[in-house]
Chain A
Amino acid sequence: MSNSVRLHHPTFASCNYVVELPQAILAGAKVCPTCSRPDKPVKHEQKALHLQLDANGDCFVSEGVLETLRQVPTMAGLEVVSAVTNAPPQFVGAVEQPRQEVITATNLRTWTPGRTRQESERIAQAPFLPTLTAIAEMYDRRLTAVRAEKQSTFALGK
């Protein structure tokens, strides 16, 4: 039994094809790391499928995602090709993301600059920095106070 389905778009290829699901409102719309550019943040008000179309206009989705897509009018222009058992694995985190065109089902287009692996690593580690900086500053203040106390004690001793 296969778990993946190959889809094809007859018009678009080599892009990130975004299909927003109108029936799935996001409680907290936020900046999308995949669709945004540094100078142009993009927010999705609804849940959105991000489909990486290859050079042939093909992509892979799970059977559950396909069921959801069938509820979208005209399946957002996508066609079912076949069930597959050898779809490529997916990766998130400290990975490279190539510069790519983002196309929505309503034909809005933009380009994202992509991320190098190093940029992805920096972003992955970033959430800990404010917390750790605050802790480091707290300890630094304590050490400064201890040093000042020692110095004053030394001066009095002389």
Chain B
Amino acid sequence: MASFVYDEGRRAAFGGVPTHSAIDLNDDALGVYFVDEGTDTPNQTSDQDDADRTGQNPTFANAPNLGSAGSRVTISSNVLVFDAADLVFTGSGALTGVTSVESIDMWKDSGTSSTSPMFANFDDYTGLPLTPAGVDVTIVWAATGIVRV
């Protein structure tokens, strides 16, 4: 399997009829966590919200949100860019209780697990699978944007 956009995420962010609310990539709170695939295998079709998942690390409640809300999407010279500051999972709280993580999930944080739609799963990022060293872990987004069209 390679990285993918969840079907629910495609409907919610790019036009369609989502089960939950639409995803505004520019303004909405977007959470990110790592996934221990020894516990759960992400499913592009059937995983619709956080409640469909297990193996999150950090947990839904403790996962950091993507920064730069309100200025993540820019359009210039017919190029749309969705971007944000690199995301740091800090220190001793990062990836505790897990031997390795195999992928990264991005989702809209509605504040409630069962109504927070899944957006995308990344499992072929350089550096994955990651074996925690008990230190800060930084997700470095592409310099040209998380998404560039």
Q: Which residues of A contact B (CB under 8 A)?
A: 2-5, 21, 24-28, 30-34, 44, 47-51, 59-65, 68, 87-97, 115, 117, 120-121, 123-128, 131-132, 135-136
Contact = CB atoms under 8 A, between A and B. Distances in A.
A107 to B, nearest CB: 19
Contacts of A25: 38
Most buried by B among A5, A64, A68, A92: A92
A92 B134 contact: no
14 contacts: A2-B134, A3-B91, A3-B92, A48-B129, A63-B134, A64-B99, A90-B127, A90-B133, A92-B139, A93-B141, A93-B142, A94-B141, A124-B142, A136-B149
Contacts of B51: none
Contacts of A44: 129
B133 A33 contact: no
Interface stretch (B1-9, B63-71, B110-118): B1-9
A155 B19 CA distance: 45
B146 to A, nearest CB: 7
- State the main secondary structure of chain B at its contact with A: loop
Contacts of B140: 91-95
B18 interface: no
A76 B10 CA distance: 43
B24 interface: no
B131 interface: yes
Given A92-B125, A120-B142, 14 more contacts: A3-B92, A26-B41, A30-B123, A32-B129, A61-B131, A62-B96, A63-B134, A64-B96, A64-B134, A90-B136, A94-B140, A94-B141, A95-B140, A126-B3
B57 to A, nearest CB: 11
Contact of A26 (B38, B97, B128): B38
Given A64-B98, A93-B127, A125 B142 contact: yes
Nearest to B14: A135
Nearest to B42: A28
Nearest to B103: A30
